[in-house]
């Protein structure tokens, strides 16, 4: 099961396993999961996951038409959309940028209606379009926050790439350098592999009497076009033709919950999935089971805490609960009697007191004096 495959963290020297995970969008509780070989692509795993979801719905007598699946664009292949249509399930997915008409995806931001206060900084417009030979509802979503994050990332990547190109140009100008055309092209291709850089940076390798020379420049027209018509935008597709643009955007935002789960498992300090000290398939499956069981319990506690703090995140919950501490004070014995003990709870903020009352923590921390 542990196989070498495409690793998003760049650790291609390590073996990995894949995890498909389905959670309930309202409660955050785990519904089902499946561990599969690490060299299997997401689109190939989807039919297996879909079959497990259908069995789950049939076991609990849940009509397929009342369920809407939300997943990313890596799963929305043509064959998978056919399977979803046969299953009768509703679904929402991101759509690759080039699969929607240019006149739709390049609409001015000013022409996109603003969403309600439940989706701050969000604008969206919907239109029925033909995709994969079928009519679907396509939504163009613009997020001011996402645009700012992309711009920051682009600026950092562009600055790094231009610095590397400048150093390469200086090295090529040195007499007797051993750089080959193939090696030069490989370096430049690697530096311009970050999103959008190949569209923004143009270069030429000139053969001159004194040797090769590198010339490069930034395409400011392309940069302006990127700012006006690409950054901050996401294309979303769904078979829920009667839904409004805001309904689709709100449902698609639920995907952030599953992304948070994977970030927490891989990078967070709660219920770490890795490092995975197992190699046999059975132990890997057990490891996945207790990780996701603990995750469900964590989401259950968070759901209880939302009665006091509706917007609390798992990280905020963990941070507040870690500061609620109990101490046992030990006093010297009087005469021949036993040592006396007293339980003291740390000073709590208003938020911590509210969480403790909501979760009923007092029943676990109250100990009579000895």
Averaged pLDDT for residues 12-16 = 77
Over residues 207-264, the pLDDT tens digits come to 888 778 899 999 999 999 999 999 999 999 999 999 999 999 988 887 777 777 777 7
| Global confidence as pTM | 0.76
Higher pLDDT, 58 or 338: 58
Higher pLDDT, 268 or 214: 214
Comparing 88-92, 303-307, 329-333, which segment has the lowest mean pLDDT? 329-333
The CA distance from 314 to 294, in Å, is 13
Q: Show Cβ contacts of residue 224 under 8 Å, excluding neighbours closer than 6 positions.
A: none
Distances (CA, A) of 123 to 34, 100, 184, 193: 36, 18, 43, 30
Token pair for residue 163? 């610095």
Q: Show Cβ contacts of residue 298 under 8 Å, excluding neighbours closer than 6 positions.
A: 270, 271, 314
Q: Are 238 and 93 in contact (CB under 8 A)?
A: yes
Q: Show Cβ contacts of residue 173 under 8 Å, excluding neighbours closer than 6 positions.
A: 211, 213
Identify any residues that bridge with 345 across adjacent strands, giving them in sequence order: 326
Backbone phi and psi for residue 308, each to the nearest 5 degrees, phi listed first? -95, -40
pLDDT at 166: 94
Return the CA Rg of the chain.
Answer: 27
Question: How much of the chain exceeds pLDDT 90, in percent?
Answer: 27
Averaged pLDDT for residues 126-152 = 91
Tell me how crowded residue 348 is: count the other CB atoms within 10 A of its CB.
16
pLDDT at 335: 74
- The separation between the first and the last C-alpha atoms of the chain, rounded to the nearest angstrom, is 54
Higher pLDDT, 273 or 148: 148
* The pLDDT of residue 44 is above 70: yes
| Strands 211-218 vs 201-208: parallel, antiparallel or unpaired | antiparallel
* The pLDDT of residue 369 is above 70: no
The CA distance from 243 to 15, in Å, is 42
Token pair for residue 30? 């785990």
Question: How much of the chain exceeds pLDDT 70, in percent?
Answer: 94
Over residues 54-94, the pLDDT tens digits come to 888 889 888 888 888 888 776 666 777 888 888 888 899 88
The CA distance from 100 to 247, in Å, is 20
The CA distance from 315 to 89, in Å, is 33
Q: Are 184 and 168 in contact (CB under 8 A)?
A: yes
The CA distance from 165 to 174, in Å, is 15
Please provide the average confidence, as pLDDT, over all residues in the chain.
85
**In Å, how far from its chain's centre is CA 18?**
15
Task: Give CA angle at 241 (31, 95), nearest 5°.
Answer: 70
Distances (CA, A) of 81 to 238, 241, 273: 10, 15, 31
């Amino acid at each position: 099961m542990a196989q070498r495959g495409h690793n998003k963290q760049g650790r291609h020297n390590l073996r990995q396993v894949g995890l498909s995970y389905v959670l309930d969008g309202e409660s955050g509780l785990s519904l089902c999961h499946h561990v599969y070989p690490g060299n299997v692509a997401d689109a190939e795993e989807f039919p297996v996951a879909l079959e497990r979801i259908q069995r789950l719905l049939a076991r609990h007598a849940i009509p397929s038409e009342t369920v809407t699946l939300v997943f990313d664009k890596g799963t929305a292949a043509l064959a998978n959309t056919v399977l979803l249509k046969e299953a009768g399930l509703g679904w929402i997915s991101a759509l690759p940028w080039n699969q929607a008409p240019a006149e739709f995806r390049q609409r001015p931001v000013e022409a996109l209606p603003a969403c309600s206060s439940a989706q701050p900084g969000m604008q969206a417009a919907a239109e029925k379009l033909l995709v994969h030979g079928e009519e679907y509802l396509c939504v163009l979503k613009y997020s001011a926050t996402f645009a700012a994050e992309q711009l920051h990332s682009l600026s950092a990547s562009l600055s790094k790439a231009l610095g590397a190109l400048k150093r390469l140009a200086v090295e090529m100008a040195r007499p007797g350098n051993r750089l080959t055309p193939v090696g030069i092209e490989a370096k430049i291709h690697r530096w311009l592999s970050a999103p959008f850089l190949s569209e923004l940076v143009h270069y030429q390798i000139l053969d001159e009497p004194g040797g090769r020379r590198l010339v490069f420049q930034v395409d400011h027209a392309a940069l302006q076009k990127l700012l006006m018509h690409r950054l901050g935008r996401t294309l979303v597709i769904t078979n829920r033709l009667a839904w409004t643009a805001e309904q689709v955007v709100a449902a698609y935002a639920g995907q952030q919950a599953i992304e948070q789960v994977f970030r927490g498992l891989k990078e967070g300090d709660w219920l770490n999935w890795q490092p995975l000290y197992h190699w046999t398939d059975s132990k890997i499956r057990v490891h996945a089971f207790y990780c996701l069981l603990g995750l469900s319990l964590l989401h259950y506690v968070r759901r209880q805490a939302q009665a006091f703090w509706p917007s609390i995140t798992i990280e905020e919950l963990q941070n507040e609960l870690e500061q609620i501490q109990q101490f046992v004070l030990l006093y010297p014995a009087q005469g021949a009697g036993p040592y006396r003990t007293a339980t003291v709870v740390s000073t709590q903020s208003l938020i911590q007191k509210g969480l403790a009352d909501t979760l009923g923590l007092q029943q676990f921390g109250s100990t009579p004096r000895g």
